Homo-oligomer: A and B are copies of this chain.
Amino acid sequence: MPQNKQIQLDNRPQAEATVSNFKLVTADTPALQDGQVLVRHHFLSLDPYMRGRMNDSKSYAVPQPLGQVMQGGTVGEVVESKNAKYAVGDKVVGFGGWQQYSVVNGDQVGALRKVDTTHVPLSHYLGAVGMPGVTAWYGLVKIIEPKAGQTMVVSAATGAVGSAFGALSKARGCRVVGVAGGPDKCKYAVEELGFDACIDYRLHKDAASLSKALKEHCPDGIDGYFENVGGIVLDAVLSRMNAFGRIALCGMIAGYDGQPLPLAYPQLILTNRLKIEGFIVSEHMEVWPEALKELGTLVGTGKLRPRETVAEGIEAAPEAFLGLLKGKNFGKQLVKVI
């Protein structure tokens, strides 16, 4: 059996997460039992939600257990199979974690999904045509329910979720404005992702300043907002929401280290009759087929051209993950482990 390097959670962050929270372990992969397959991972997915799971507090997900492999999405290839549904060479998406190989029960519903790499590169099944893409789809289609001509805004606009949100909004005839960190990301959002405008939040020291920029780029106000960040971005957007606006609350990365993140004027929810809804996409598996079909088509036809930042080798995962939390990545953050 091949040797399997893996990254485990060794201890929980006190405030900011650091590389010392993780440890690298090498083990043999166990012999397969009937029904199991051995998957060799090509890419690991790094996602902001993982930071929340590193804490031991009440969250929407069970905390990541200590001393076990970090959980997360993976794409790879079946290299050994004792399950008639999977053949060696099949390309599969799964939830194999931060390691080189995983042993999966092929009969468990949802554990593995075979994918076609003719028109969509394998790695995109962890991004635009995977969980982040479906996340954008659910927030836009099921919570925001956009109408053509309305104005949509998304924070972390060039990330895996934000870039899918932009393409999905444009496909529905909306104006879409991004919020991102730095001139390169903003340029990319407009020139490559098709955003109508993108605001560099680093140029704004407070919510009032950001609110002015939003007014400039959203002259008809904001009808839908997809929130990945929280903090002053949310305060600023709230001040520009139109009556009956909808906010899909997907992430509040600004508060992942435990700092308070108060919402300054909740009265605006009332005066503008807004709807705010938090969600986690894995609780809505019923929409995945429809969402993945649209996202696959957008990528296959070049209407969504997601960018990726790829770290090399399993050992690079912790550092790459911490960079993601600081916005150092550009587009979907992956780790290539083959």
Contact = CB atoms under 8 A, between A and B. Distances in A.
Interface stretch (A3-11, A274-282, A329-337): A274-282
Nearest to A246: B277
Main SS of the interface on chain A?
loop
A132 to B, nearest CB: 16
A270 B266 contact: no
A270 B234 CA distance: 13
* Chain A: interface size category: 20 to 34
A208 to B, nearest CB: 14
Given A60-B243, A277-B275, A278-B274, A249 B269 contact: yes
Interface in A259-290: 260-267, 269-280, 283
Copies of this protein in the assembly total 2
Contacts of A311: none
Nearest to A52: B271
A252 interface: yes
Interface string A191-222: 00000000000000000000000000000000
A72 interface: no
Contacts of A283: 273
A73 interface: no
A255 interface: yes
Given A263-B266, A273-B279, 19 more contacts: A52-B271, A60-B243, A60-B270, A60-B273, A230-B267, A252-B266, A260-B265, A262-B264, A262-B265, A262-B266, A263-B263, A269-B277, A269-B278, A272-B278, A273-B278, A273-B280, A274-B278, A275-B277, A276-B276
27 contacts: A52-B271, A58-B271, A60-B243, A60-B270, A60-B271, A60-B273, A230-B267, A249-B269, A250-B270, A252-B266, A252-B267, A262-B264, A262-B266, A269-B277, A269-B278, A270-B278, A271-B278, A273-B277, A273-B278, A273-B279, A273-B280, A273-B283, A274-B277, A274-B278, A275-B275, A275-B277, A275-B278
